[in-house]
Structure 1
Amino acid sequence: MPATTQDGDHAVENKPAPNTNGTMKAVRFHGKEDLRFEDIPEPKCGKGQIKVQPAWCGICGSDLHEYIGGPSICPTSPHPITGEQVPLTFGHEFSGVIEELGEGVAEKWKVGDRVCVQPIIYDGDCGACQDGLINCCYKNGFVGLSGWGGGLSEHLVVPEYAVYKLPDNVGLDVAALVEPLAVGWHAVNASPFKPSDSVLILGGGPIGLSVIQALRARGCRQIIVSEVSQMRKEFAKEFGAHHVLDPTKDDIVARCRELADGQGVNVSCDAAGVQAGLDQAIMALRARGTHVNIAIWEKRCNFFPNDLVFREKRYLGVATYVKGDFEEVIKAISDGRLDMCQKMITKRIGLDEVVEEGFKALIKDKDNQVKILVRGSGQV
Structure 2
Amino acid sequence: MEETQGKFILMIQKKGALQMQSKMKALVTHGAHDYRLEEVDRPSAGEGEMIIKVEGCGICAGDLKAFKGGSVFWGDGSAPPYLEVPAIGGHEFVGYIVEMGPGTDKKKTYGIADTDLKVGDRVAVEQIAPCGTCRYCKEGRYHLCVPHNVYGFKNYLNGGFAEYARLTKESLVYKIPEDMPLERALLIEPYACSMHAIDRAAICKDDIVVISGAGCLGLGMITAARKRNPKCLIALDLNEERLKKAKEFGCDITIDPNRESLKDKIMELSDGYGCDVYIEATGHPSSVKQGLDIIRKAGRFIEFSLFLEPVTCDWSVIGDGKELDMYGVSLSYGCFPDTIKGLYTGELMSDGVVSHKFALSDYEAAFEQSGKGTDSVKVVFTFE
Q: 1:177 to 1:90 in 2, by over 3 A?
A: same
Structure 1: which amino acid aligns with 2:213? G
Residue 20 (structure 1) shift: 8.8
Structure 2: which amino acid aligns with 1:132? G
Q: Which residue of 2 aligns with 1:279?
A: 289
Cα distance between partner residues in 2 of 1:260 and 1:329: 32
Q: Which residue of 2 aligns with 1:5?
A: none
Cα distance between partner residues in 1 of 2:290 and 2:70: 29
Q: Which residue of 1 aligns with 2:324?
A: 313
CA contact (8 A) 1:20 1:43 kept: no
Residue 353 (structure 1) shift: 1.0
Moved over 4 A (4+): 74-80
Structure 2: which amino acid aligns with 1:369? S
Match of 1:135 among 116, 139, 143: 143
Cα distance between partner residues in 1 of 2:341 and 2:151: 23
CA contact (8 A) 1:57 1:373 kept: yes
Q: Which residue of 2 aligns with 1:89?
A: 88
Q: 1:132 to 1:79 in 2, by over 3 A?
A: farther
Q: Which residue of 2 aligns with 1:176?
A: 186
CA contact (8 A) 2:29 2:85 kept: yes
- The alignment status of 1:253 with 2:258, answered yes or no, reads no
Q: What's the secondary structure of 1:121's corresponding residue?
A: coil
Residue 279 (structure 1) shift: 1.9
Structure 1 gap ranges (5+): 1-18
1:142-183 per-position Cα deviation (integer Å, ceiling 9, x unaligned): 111223221111111113542110134423331111111011
Q: 1:195 to 1:144 in 2, by over 3 A?
A: farther
Residue 126 (structure 1) shift: 0.7
Cα distance between partner residues in 2 of 1:139 and 1:119: 13
State, as a whole percentage, how many aligned pairs show the same letter.
30
Q: Which residue of 2 aligns with 1:289?
A: 299
Cα distance between partner residues in 1 of 2:134 and 2:324: 31
Residue 238 (structure 1) shift: 2.0
Q: Which residue of 2 aligns with 1:7?
A: none
Q: 1:287 to 1:20 in 2, by over 3 A?
A: farther
Q: What's the secondary structure of 2:276's corresponding residue?
A: strand
CA contact (8 A) 2:72 2:308 kept: no
Cα distance between partner residues in 1 of 2:70 and 2:41: 25
Q: What's the secondary structure of 2:42's corresponding residue?
A: strand
CA contact (8 A) 2:71 2:309 kept: no
CA contact (8 A) 1:31 1:70 kept: no
Residue 79 (structure 1) shift: 9.2
Aligned length: 352
1:238-273 per-position Cα deviation (integer Å, ceiling 9, x unaligned): 222211111112222221121234422111000013
Structure 2: which amino acid aligns with 1:321? S
Q: Which residue of 2 aligns with 1:371?
A: 378
Q: Normalization by structure 2: what TM-score? A: 0.85
RMSD: 2.3
Q: 1:95 to 1:173 in 2, by over 3 A?
A: farther
